[in-house]
């Protein structure tokens, strides 16, 4: 078996030890005589699993007592609608648009009220993050929404906007668990799990208690945060396997990596390998303003679309897969989430050097 280094933006690599653990428990979980995939979600065995996953997440992310956690289906995209449906009590919310997903979130919110775009980095094809201190925020916004790491454009906030009295809502799909997070700065944060947390199939929301229970009566039961959260994510059948896998990943972060500070150190070192190389030569270009470079998604282009194509094809032959950039950006994108080993990034940089020598 030859496992490749997979630079996919999501679903993406999972830690090998997690996959092996899942494999070892695939046919029989503990002494239950059954697989987690087959278990009743109402069984005591599964109940212990889901409770452990929530408490592990609370520990790893250091979630304060006054925040609730819920597991939701429909991916991060459903959260784009749930946020306004549950929080837009003034009929208005502020959105900062820094890429495709924050744009989609704003468009979804506009179906339910006024989604005011208070800043955007579209003028320079989303290669930077607007200065959060210079924005004219609405005083009567129900919340301010951001996408903290922009998966497609390879940018991330260097500083979080904080507006007195207006809860910050953040899509953290492509940066969650990559470094310590001060949860108390957010009213609500959410993430799709398929990058740093688990296989695809779920989103998680962490919601400050006082923001719950504000949804109108007409909001569908399953789209009300309170429904799922009040039922400890067991209102209906949850994505049982996905939740179990998330638990394995959380235990990996705690026990093997040593927590989020260590995770951040590893991630910063991996990203520095790539960015330092990119800064040392002129064949490949990274368009992002340095201050806002993502540690998770690194974009770059070669001198021509033809060479980009050749690069991706040859990289694949070398076991470096899914490097093609998003169609909105072109070129290449290396997603180097938590589970990407340092050796994978080293091999990529070595491959880039060689490609540059041969084609430069
Ligand atoms: N937000 C961000 C930052 C993303 O990267 C993605 C998916 N790549 C989404 C939202 C959409 O997630 P989902 O496919 O889970 O709906």
Letter string b/e over residues 107-119, b meaning 16 or more CB atoms within 10 A of that residue's CB: ebbeebbbbbebb
Taking the CA of residue 9 as reference, the ligand 1 atom at the shortest distance is 8
> With left for phi above 0 and alpha for psi between -120 and 50, is residue 116 left, alpha or beta?
beta
Q: How confident is the model at residue 140 (pLDDT cuts 50, 70, 90)?
A: very high
pLDDT in tens, 49-106: 999 999 999 999 999 999 999 999 999 999 999 999 999 999 999 999 999 999 999 9
Percent of the chain whose predicted confidence (pLDDT) is above 70: 100
Show the tokens assigned to 54: 């929530």
pLDDT in tens, 287-344: 999 999 999 999 999 999 999 999 999 999 999 999 999 999 999 999 999 999 999 9
Ligand 1 pocket test, candidate residues 148, 174, 193, 294, most atoms within 8 A of CB: 174
CA 259 to centroid of ligand 1, rounded, Å: 24
CA 155 to centroid of ligand 1, rounded, Å: 15
pTM score, whole prediction: 0.98
CA distances from 312 to 3, 114, 146, 285, 321 (A): 17, 42, 31, 15, 8
| ipTM topping 0.90 | yes
Taking the CA of residue 99 as reference, the ligand 1 atom at the shortest distance is 3
CA 11 to centroid of ligand 1, rounded, Å: 10
CA 77 to centroid of ligand 1, rounded, Å: 6
Sign of CA dihedral 177, 182, 183, 185: negative
> With left for phi above 0 and alpha for psi between -120 and 50, is residue 5 left, alpha or beta?
beta
Q: Which domains does the chain have, with CATH numbers?
A: 5-15+260-359 (3.90.1150.10), 17-256 (3.40.640.10)
Name all residues whose Cβ lies below 6 A of ligand 1. Answer: 9-10, 75-77, 101, 147, 151, 171, 173-174, 192
pLDDT of residue 1: 72
pLDDT in tens, 183-219: 999 999 999 999 999 999 999 999 999 999 999 999 9
Decide: 93 and 142 in contact? Cβ < 8 Å: yes
| Mean pLDDT value of segment 146-164 | 97
Among the residue ranges 264-268, 276-280, 326-330, the one predicted with the least confidence is 326-330
4: how many CB neighbours lie within 10 A of its CB?
13
- Alpha carbons 148 and 176: distance in angstroms, whole number: 9
Ligand 1 atom 14 nearest Cα: 75
pLDDT greater than 90 at residue 2:
no
CA 210 to centroid of ligand 1, rounded, Å: 26
Ligand 1 atom 10 nearest Cα: 76
Ligand 1 atom 12 nearest Cα: 76
């Amino acid at each position: 078996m030859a496992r490749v280094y997979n630079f996919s933006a999501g679903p993406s690599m999972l830690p090998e030890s997690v996959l092996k653990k899942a494999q070892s428990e695939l046919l029989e979980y503990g002494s239950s005589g059954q697989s987690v995939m087959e278990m009743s979600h109402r069984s005591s065995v599964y109940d212990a699993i889901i409770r452990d996953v929530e408490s592990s997440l609370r520990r790893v992310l250091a979630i304060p007592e006054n925040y609730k956690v819920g597991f939701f289906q429909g991916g991060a995209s459903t959260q784009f609608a749930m946020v306004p449906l549950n929080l837009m009590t003034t009929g208005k919310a502020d959105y900062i648009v820094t890429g495709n997903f924050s744009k989609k979130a704003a468009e979804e919110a506009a179906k339910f009220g006024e989604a005011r775009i208070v800043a955007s980095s579209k003028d320079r094809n989303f290669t930077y993050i607007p200065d959060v201190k210079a924005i004219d925020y609405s005083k009567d916004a129900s919340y301010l929404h951001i996408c903290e790491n922009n998966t497609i454009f390879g940018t991330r906030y260097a500083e979080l906007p904080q507006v007195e009295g207006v809860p910050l809502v953040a899509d953290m799909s492509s940066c969650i668990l990559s470094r310590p997070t001060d949860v108390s700065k957010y009213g609500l944060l959410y993430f799709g799990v398929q990058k740093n947390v688990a296989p695809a199939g779920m989103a998680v929301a962490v919601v400050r208690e006082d923001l719950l229970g504000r949804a109108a009566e007409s909001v569908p039961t399953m789209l009300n945060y309170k429904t799922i959260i009040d039922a400890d994510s067991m209102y209906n059948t949850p994505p049982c396997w996905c939740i179990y896998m998330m638990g394995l990943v959380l235990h990996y972060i705690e026990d093997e990596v040593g927590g989020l500070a260590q995770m951040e150190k590893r991630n910063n070192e991996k990203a520095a390998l790539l960015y330092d190389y990119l800064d040392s030569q002129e064949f490949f270009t990274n368009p992002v303003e340095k201050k806002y470079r993502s540690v998770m998604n690194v974009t770059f282009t070669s001198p021509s679309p033809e060479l980009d194509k050749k690069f991706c094809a040859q990289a694949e032959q070398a076991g470096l897969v899914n490097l093609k950039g998003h169609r909105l950006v072109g070129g290449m994108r290396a997603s180097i989430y938590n589970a990407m080993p340092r050796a994978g990034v080293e091999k990529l940089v070595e491959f880039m050097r060689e490609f540059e020598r041969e084609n430069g």
